[in-house]
């Protein structure tokens, strides 16, 4: 499936919302262990192609998450990060989407598996 149009639409919406004027590129590739990450220097967001089948909400979350790293110029998930994130997607929804992502990373061939206990997000990002 071609997600290019949807990616552009989501990117435009959240760049405007966050007040990001830089050119941001999104690359979609298959990764074994990474869900999504951003190169803050080249302003390029990388998204794991395997996660696209989880649907549009997950794609929105992944792009927003990485754009917030760009906006704050930080790879940390600190209180400012979470406050910004939760102003667009409520915490309960974020938990749900993260559960879907973690389940998919653990079991790529299954759909909609949930596993919160081993929740690990954004391998490239430093943990708090
Ligand atoms: Zn992150």
Distance 62 CA to ligand 1 centre (A): 9
> By the 8 A CB rule, do 48 and 124 touch?
no
Extended strands (E) in the chain: 25-29, 36-39, 44-48
Distance 78 CA to ligand 1 centre (A): 10
Phi, psi of 33 (to 5 degrees): -120, -15
pLDDT of residue 110: 65
Q: Between 115 and 101, where is the model more confident?
A: 101
Provide the percentage of residues in the chain whose pLDDT is more than 90.
73
- Can you give the pTM of this predicted structure? 0.86
Model pLDDT for residues 63-89, shown as the tens digit of each residue = 999 999 999 999 999 999 999 999 999
Instruction: Using a CB cutoff of 5 Å, list residues around ligand 1, an ion.
Output: 122, 125
Distance 89 CA to ligand 1 centre (A): 15
Model pLDDT for residues 89-112, shown as the tens digit of each residue = 999 999 999 999 988 888 877 654
Phi-psi region at 23: left, alpha or beta (left = phi > 0; alpha = psi -120 to 50): beta
Distance 121 CA to ligand 1 centre (A): 7
Provide the percentage of residues in the chain whose pLDDT is more than 70.
84
């Amino acid at each position: 499936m071609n997600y290019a149009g949807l990616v552009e639409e989501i990117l435009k919406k959240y760049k405007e919302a966050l007040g990001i004027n830089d050119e941001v590129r999104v690359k979609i590739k298959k990764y074994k262990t990474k869900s999504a990450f951003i190169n803050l220097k080249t302003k390029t967001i990388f998204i794991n192609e395997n996660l696209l089948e989880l649907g549009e909400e997950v794609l929105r979350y992944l792009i927003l998450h990485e754009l917030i790293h760009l906006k704050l110029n930080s790879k940390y998930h600190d209180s400012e990060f979470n406050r910004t994130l939760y102003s667009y997607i409520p915490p309960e929804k974020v938990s749900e989407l993260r559960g879907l992502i973690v389940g998919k990373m653990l079991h790529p061939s299954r759909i909609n598996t949930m596993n919160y206990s081993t929740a690990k997000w954004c391998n490239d990002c430093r943990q708090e």
